[in-house]
Amino acid sequence: MDKDRLNNMVVDLFHGISYEEEKAVITDEFKDISNKDLHIIDAIGIKKPKNMSTIAGDLNITVGTLTTAINNLLKKGYVNRKRGEIDGKIIPSFKVISKVGEVAGESIEIAAREGEFLSKDDLRQRAKIGQSAIDKLSELGILGDMTDSNQLSLFDL
């Protein structure tokens, strides 16, 4: 097989994968997101906020290019810039986490201003979110080792 034919096959495969990825991403709920947006959100991750330099390095793009893309994602509501940090960490919006959603995310943020959550039950009650949101946050590792309940067990002593 010659190089040109192999190159054409790889390019066709890449375009086919990109097309299928785009079809899977663009739904009624996420009409305004592109493959590029999706890859940036993936690079941001969900467990630990990252700064712009780290994300740009992970994507092999310049910080300037990333800044433009992040500003677009901020306008669309898919990411948030975490305030109060020296280097302005970027975190995904709850809007992009299936089974959590933007309204639940806002409720969590408001409830968190009242103080640290003592347990998953405390989070669910104070933020007024459903168990499916708690389960999804737990599954993604966002809640860390947060206990299920505020109640102490004899085994905890």
pLDDT of residue 154: 52
pLDDT of residue 132: 85
DSSP for 58-78, please give it. HHT--HHHHHHHHHHHHHHTS
Higher pLDDT, 131 or 32: 131
Is the C-alpha dihedral spanning 128, 100, 134, 116 positive or negative?
A: negative
35: which residues sit within 8 A by CB, 6+ positions away?
18, 21, 22, 25
d(CA 11, CA 5): 10
pLDDT digits (tens, 9 = 90+) for 40-89: 888 887 666 677 888 889 899 998 898 899 888 888 888 877 654 444 56
pLDDT of residue 39: 83
For residue 135, the tally of other CB atoms under 10 A from its CB is: 14
